[in-house]
Amino acid sequence: MALDYQKLLNPSQAAAVMQIDGPCMIIAGAGSGKTRVLTYRIANLLEQGVDPFNILALTFTNKAAKEMRARIEKVVGPEAKNVWMGTFHSIFARILRSEADKIGYPRHFTIYDTQDSKTLLGQIVKEMDLDDKLYKPNMVLGRISAAKNKLISVEQYLQDPVIKQDDEAALRPKIGAIYQQYALRCFKAGAMDFDDLLFNTNVLFKNHVDVLNKYQNIFKFVMVDEYQDTNYSQYLITRKLAAKERNICVVGDDAQSIYAFRGADITNILNFEKDYPELQVFKLEQNYRSTKNIVKAANSVIKNNKAQLRKDVFSENEEGTLIEVLKASSDNEEGKLVANSIYEDKMNQHLSYENFAILYRTNAQSRAMEEALRKLNIKYKIIGGLSFYQRKEIKDLVAYLRLTVNHNDEQALRRVINYPKRGIGDTTISKLINSAEESNHTLWEVVSNANSFLNTRIANPIETFAEQIKSYAVLAGKEDAFEAAKFIAKNSGMVEELYSDKSIEGLSRYENIQELLNGVKAFVEDPEREEKSLAAFLQDIALVTDTDLKDAKDEGESVTLMTIHSAKGLEFRNVYIVGMEENLFPSQMMITSRADLEEERRLFYVAITRAEKKLTLSYATSRYQWGNLRSCEKSRFLDEIDPQYVDFKFAASPAGSGDGTFGHVLERRSNLLPTPPRKTVATKYVAPADFKPSDTSNLQTGQRVEHPKFGFGAVTKLEKQDGSVKAIIQFEEVGEKTLLLSFAKLRVVS
């Protein structure tokens, strides 16, 4: 049955959906249905008889792609499955895999994650005898990444006089040399980092016109969501793909461009108009997501930006409640206020915790929120931060799997060559690395022929290890991913190693390994997967983005916590934007120029426009940063919102209190709380499942800590005694305890 687009869409949306031939662009405000238009546009193409294999839709997260696919499938049926839909990285990783030989890569190339890239850069800086304080991996990776996203190759980087001048002025003249070595090492290891996936796609299309032709014929219709956040490398890929048919449709919002720091380029929107003079432009002005108040407040904020395309966004939804502002005396207090408010709204308005999201500027802010939510027994999930796949034990097992599929994967090899311990010491590993360097072999080639490089006694365990890995490869060639992974987890000794550790953390690491194996099993049993090999599984997990993890471990009804960056495109009934303070939001690091401040303001605009019904902003007048208590000033962004949309009553300093603390107001809030049933709001401390103790060798008095049994507390005194250190800690719930640091499992929370 054909869809009634006139009913599902407003006239401009419907017009954009019906326009099939030729380039089109929709640059419109938040919540105006851009993503909805793309979804129905694909549905319409399919209804018109377009082959799903001829449609390419690029989204910002895999999760967005999944949702879009599910919606289309609902209306047009299972053929929606065959539409090419995904992030730039996942789609082009797939294409690179089938064309890898053309650019000299193995078919089963590894994808290095950011951590792998940084580790490798650290190793290179050390090998080159450079100052690691000057050449911090994070900074170097940022430079290399920026170069790659502008398609600047190693050769160009080394030759460009302007770049040379820049690096010299920054007293970092060796970045080019590091880039060169880094690219070489990745290539030798058969590995690509995230930026390479786009860079190499461009290389592929540039050097192999036949390949480009092939994909131009496949992708007769190209669509891009969140176009404002594409970088040059992505822009060029889409331009090349659409060059033949010119059926390209992009949607975005210049007011929501928030990735300039990663090379996203607003000029891509302007270029688009130049590239396609026959372009049709559609305007969408009605916001369907949020109340009038929220939309007007968002407009009043973004108006302060000079650099933006003028557009009016309005809402026909209800007026809605005013924006609430909460003022707290500290970050912990802020957590409490937010948690209380969530609890209260959930109870009074019969909502589900799924309706709530807490958004913050930096991941570190989640700590105070988590603490407060846990105390009220409110379930939450964190998107981003240290994700499942970044945990040590998971990375260890995944390294075994990667090494099985691609023996040359140097970072994986270095990670597991002596884990679990098999008597291959650091000196030996250094020797192997040097031998590889000197003889111009890969590390794996040296490892698998260790006898030719080292004496027999040292070489034997190394060769045994190599044989082991080779046998895994044989197995992985015959069995599916699950059988292979299960065998490798056991045979490598990892399972036994973790099982023998009976501590709480040891147990949770063991469970994480089981969880990973469950994931592999689900992958293998998914009827929609054609390829069930270990290599296919690895590709799947290499491209999990932070936001995708929302689905990874669904713990039922829970509040969502994430950075504003990961909230792009999403919507929640009630939204809290916390940490509305100068130097935090806008971020101190980001406001050295007007352009940076405008990017921060766009980020604020993105945050506001995630809310459907209720928006709450909060700030604290003091906050722990780097272990010190600092006083903070409220964010200038709060004053930029037109006050007629804001309710400051919760933030008003109580008359006559004079000290500016929030005691009275807190009380007022607490009075508003319905008396919670005792069971739900237990004061008893509950340790989180993933509790991880910190290194406490530098513990200071005054620091806040968390103990798996005693809960939260502050260190009041540290005493040295017979070489060990005793800490006296005042716990909030159980009072003072004296603990020996060498035994106590403490997590430092600030």
Ligand X SMILES: Nc1ncnc2c1ncn2[C@@H]1O[C@H](COP(=O)(O)OP(=O)(O)OP(=O)(O)O)[C@@H](O)[C@H]1O
Residues within the interface to ligand X (CB under 6 A)? 9-10, 13, 30-36, 253, 256, 288-289, 569, 571, 609
State the nearest-atom distance from the C-beta of 234 to ligand X, in Å. 17
**Considering beta carbons, is residue 18 or 673 the nearer one to ligand X?**
18
**Considering beta carbons, is residue 38 or 212 the nearer one to Mg ion?**
38
**Considering beta carbons, is residue 355 or 512 the nearer one to ligand X?**
355
30 binds, options ligand X, Mg ion, none, Cβ within 5 to 8 A by partner type: ligand X
- Which two structure tokens, joined as six digits, stand for 230? 């594409």
371 binds, options Mg ion, ligand X, none, Cβ within 5 to 8 A by partner type: none
**Which DSSP symbol is given to 306?**
S
Does 412 show up as a binding residue in the annotation?
no
86 binds, options Mg ion, ligand X, none, Cβ within 5 to 8 A by partner type: none
**Which DSSP symbol is given to 401?**
H
238 flagged as catalytic:
no
State the nearest-atom distance from the C-beta of 605 to ligand X, in Å. 10
377 in Cβ contact with 686 (< 8 Å): yes
610 flagged as catalytic:
yes
225 flagged as catalytic:
yes
Q: How far apart are CA 722 and CA 70, in angstroms?
A: 64
State the nearest-atom distance from the C-beta of 265 to Mg ion, in Å. 19
Q: Please state whether beta strands 24-27 and 314-315 pair in parallel, antiparallel, or not at all (unpaired).
A: unpaired
Which residue matches tokens 């200071």?
700
467 flagged as catalytic:
no
Bridge partners (DSSP) of residue 628 are 625
560 binds, options ligand X, Mg ion, none, Cβ within 5 to 8 A by partner type: none
Q: For 241-301, give the secondary structure using H, E and C.
A: HHCCCCCEEEEECHHHCCCHHHCECCHHHHHHHHHCCCCEEECCCEECCCCHHHHHHHHHH
> Catalytic: which of 59, 230, 234, 256?
256
**Considering beta carbons, is residue 343 or 572 the nearer one to ligand X?**
572
Where along the sequence are the contacts to Mg ion (CB under 5 A)? 34-35, 569
Which residue matches tokens 């065998």?
487
> Catalytic: which of 99, 196, 226, 540?
226
Does 335 show up as a binding residue in the annotation?
no
Bridge partners (DSSP) of residue 463 are none
**Considering beta carbons, is residue 34 or 747 the nearer one to ligand X?**
34
**299 Rama sector, left if φ>0, alpha if ψ -120 to 50, beta otherwise:** alpha
**Considering beta carbons, is residue 66 or 208 the nearer one to ligand X?**
66
**Which DSSP symbol is given to 201?**
H
State the nearest-atom distance from the C-beta of 35 to ligand X, in Å. 3
State the nearest-atom distance from the C-beta of 60 to Mg ion, in Å. 8
Of all residues in this chain, which one has the CB nearest to ligand X in the complex?
A: 33
**Considering beta carbons, is residue 32 or 340 the nearer one to ligand X?**
32
Q: What are phi and psi of 456, to 5 degrees?
A: -55, -40
**Considering beta carbons, is residue 257 or 512 the nearer one to Mg ion?**
257
Does 35 show up as a binding residue in the annotation?
yes
Does 77 show up as a binding residue in the annotation?
no
How many residues does the structure list for the chain? Answer: 750
Bridge partners (DSSP) of residue 559 are 380
541 in Cβ contact with 364 (< 8 Å): no
Q: Which helix (H) or strand (E) holds 432?
A: helix 426-439
Q: How far apart are CA 357 and CA 612, in angstroms?
A: 11
Helix/strand number for the chain, H first, E second: 30, 24
Residue partners of 75: CB distance under 8 A and separation at least 6: 3, 43
Bond from prior residue into 654 cis (ω within 30 degrees of 0): no
Does 385 show up as a binding residue in the annotation?
no
Of all residues in this chain, which one has the CB nearest to Mg ion in the complex?
A: 35
> Catalytic: which of 113, 193, 225, 546?
225
190 binds, options ligand X, Mg ion, none, Cβ within 5 to 8 A by partner type: none
Which residue matches tokens 């509305």?
580
Q: Please state whether beta strands 572-577 and 611-620 pair in parallel, antiparallel, or not at all (unpaired).
A: parallel
> Catalytic: which of 34, 375, 402, 415?
34
> Catalytic: which of 69, 327, 414, 610?
610
445 binds, options ligand X, Mg ion, none, Cβ within 5 to 8 A by partner type: none
571 flagged as catalytic:
no
State the nearest-atom distance from the C-beta of 647 to ligand X, in Å. 24
Q: What are phi and psi of 105, to 5 degrees?
A: -105, 150
13 binds, options ligand X, Mg ion, none, Cβ within 5 to 8 A by partner type: ligand X
State the nearest-atom distance from the C-beta of 116 to ligand X, in Å. 31
Q: Please state whether beta strands 356-360 and 559-563 pair in parallel, antiparallel, or not at all (unpaired).
A: parallel
Neighbour-count burial of 110, counting CB atoms closer than 10 A to its CB (0-12 exposed, 13-18 middle, 19+ buried): buried
**Which DSSP symbol is given to 232?**
H
**Considering beta carbons, is residue 570 or 580 the nearer one to Mg ion?**
570
Q: How far apart are CA 565 and CA 383, in angstroms?
A: 11
State the nearest-atom distance from the C-beta of 446 to Mg ion, in Å. 50
191 in Cβ contact with 110 (< 8 Å): yes
Amino acid letter at 415? R
**Considering beta carbons, is residue 5 or 691 the nearer one to ligand X?**
5
> Catalytic: which of 13, 35, 216, 696?
35
Does 28 show up as a binding residue in the annotation?
yes
**Considering beta carbons, is residue 137 or 569 the nearer one to Mg ion?**
569
31 binds, options Mg ion, ligand X, none, Cβ within 5 to 8 A by partner type: ligand X
Alpha helix positions (H), 563-626? 594-608
256 flagged as catalytic:
yes
Q: How far apart are CA 603 and CA 255, in angstroms?
A: 9
241 binds, options Mg ion, ligand X, none, Cβ within 5 to 8 A by partner type: none
State the nearest-atom distance from the C-beta of 555 to ligand X, in Å. 24
Does 177 show up as a binding residue in the annotation?
no
137 binds, options Mg ion, ligand X, none, Cβ within 5 to 8 A by partner type: none
Q: For the CA atoms of 36, 41, 42, 44, what is the dihedral angle to 10 degrees?
A: 130
Q: Please state whether beta strands 724-731 and 735-740 pair in parallel, antiparallel, or not at all (unpaired).
A: antiparallel
23 binds, options ligand X, Mg ion, none, Cβ within 5 to 8 A by partner type: none
Does 587 show up as a binding residue in the annotation?
no
Q: What are phi and psi of 432, to 5 degrees?
A: -60, -40
State the nearest-atom distance from the C-beta of 69 to Mg ion, in Å. 15
**Which DSSP symbol is given to 581?**
B
- Which two structure tokens, joined as six digits, stand for 636? 């200038």
Q: How far apart are CA 607 and CA 609, in angstroms?
A: 6
196 in Cβ contact with 186 (< 8 Å): yes
User: Active-site residue numbers?
Assistant: 34-35, 225-226, 256, 610
Residues annotated within the binding site are 28-35
Residues annotated within the binding site for ATP are 28-35
